Structure 1
Amino acid sequence: MELRSVEELMDLLHACRGAWDTPDRSGDPVDLHDHALQTAALLRRGHPADKELQVAGLVHDIGQLLRPGDYAGHADLAAEAVQPLLGERVSRLVRLHVAAKRYLATTSPGRGLSAQSALTLTVQGGAMTPLEAASFERDPYAEDAITLRQADDAGKVVGLDAGVMEDWRTVLELVATWHSRLKAEDRPTTRGR
């Protein structure tokens, strides 16, 4: 699935209400909707000027809605879905949020993960090897992916008011417009001679 409009993305994000990371609700204590809002709000608070990072936090787990139970592939699925609409950086950060979890499991093994995140870490490849960690560190988006991951881990608080999904429509439109303009600038012109 490729998302082509902010309206399609908003519909998908609204569909996250009542959708959980596990079918039997034994996983994280908030649904995908509240988790998305909390993650994005944490990123907005910590990085108010970085709209792409905030949006990546908002959409990072939509792959769990698109293909429930695919813990190993949900990041790639979400990244592919949002790339045409939100651009390379948002897509790359979404793709890297699982790698960032694996990296942090290597570099900070005592840091707290939710029980569900600890469980899915195993199917996602576990802690990185030293070679994998060195490769991750060379990625130009590694630091931002770690920031996203930290917000992801913190955005699982029952009852926390993180606003409403409609509050993000304008930010999504802004990022989509930036991406659309960049694509237009990169297209070769076909002017006559």
Structure 2
Amino acid sequence: MELRSVEELMSLLHAFRGAWDAPDRSGDPVDLHDHALQTAHLLRRSHPSDKELQVAGLVHDLGHLLHPGDDAGHADHAAVAVRPLLGDRVARLVRLHVPAKRYLATTEPGRPLSAQSALTLGPQGGAMTPREADAFARDPLAEAAATLRQADDAGKVVGLDAGVMDDWRPVLELVAAAHASGG
């Protein structure tokens, strides 16, 4: 699936309500809706001028909705879906949020992960080898992807009020318009 309008994307983001990262709800303690809002909110606070990073935080787990149960491929599915609408940088950040988890597992081995993230690390390739970590660190988006990953890991707090999905529509429209104009 490739998203072509902010309206289509907003429909999917609203469908996050009551959807979980694990089909049997055994995963993270918040649904994908709250997780997306919390991740984007954390990125807005830490990187207020980087709208693409914030949007990547909002949409990074769309693959769980598009292909339930495909933990290893969810980032790729989401990246393919958002690229036509939100551009290459957002899509690459979305795609890199899983390699960033593997990278951080290598460079910060004692770093805590949620139970679900720890469980899916293996099927996603496990901690990177030193060679893989070196290659990842050379990627121009490595730092931003690691920042996204850190917000992803922190955005799983039951009951945290991170706003409402419709508040993100203007930001999505801004990023989509910038991509459409080649900017």
TM-score using structure 1 length: 0.94
* Higher radius of gyration, 1 or 2: 1
Q: Tell me the alpha carbon deviations over residues 139-174 of structure 1, each in whole angstroms, 9 at most, x when there is no partner.
A: 000000000000000000000000000000000000
- Secondary structure (helix, strand or coil) at the match of 2:36 reads helix
Instruction: Give 2:152's aligned amino acid.
Output: D
How far did 1:54 drift?
Answer: 0.1
CA distance in 2, matches of 1:127, 1:154: 19
For 2:18 and 2:78, locate their aligned partners in 1 and report how far apart those are by CA, in whole Å.
19
Deviates more, 1:149-158 or 1:19-28: 19-28
Residue identity matched to 1:32:
L
Query: Matched residues, percent identical?
Result: 81
What's the Cα RMSD here?
A: 0.7
Counting only pairs closer than 5 Å after superposition, residues 95-134 of structure 1 correspond to structure 2 as 95-134=95-134
Q: Please state if 1:171 is matched with 2:168.
A: no
Whether 2:65 is the aligned partner of 1:65: answer: yes
Letter in 2 for 1:98: V
1:49 positional shift: 0.5
2:4 maps to: 4
The CA distance in 2 between the partners of 1:71 and 1:81, in whole Å, is 16
Query: What is the deviation of 1:25?
Result: 1.1
Deviation for aligned residue 1:79: 0.3
Q: CA deviation at 1:36?
A: 0.2
Matches within 5 A, 1:32-181: 32-181=32-181
Distance in 2 separating the partners of 1:158 and 1:173: 29
Separation (CA, whole Å) in 1 of partners of 2:48 and 2:73? 29
How far has the Cα of 1:18 moved from its partner?
0.1
- Unaligned regions of 5+ residues in structure 2, if any? none
Distance in 2 (alpha carbons) for counterparts of 1:139 and 1:60: 18
Runs of 5+ consecutive residues of structure 1 not aligned to the other structure: 184-193
Number of matched residues? 183
Runs of 4+ in 1 over 2 A off after TM superposition: none
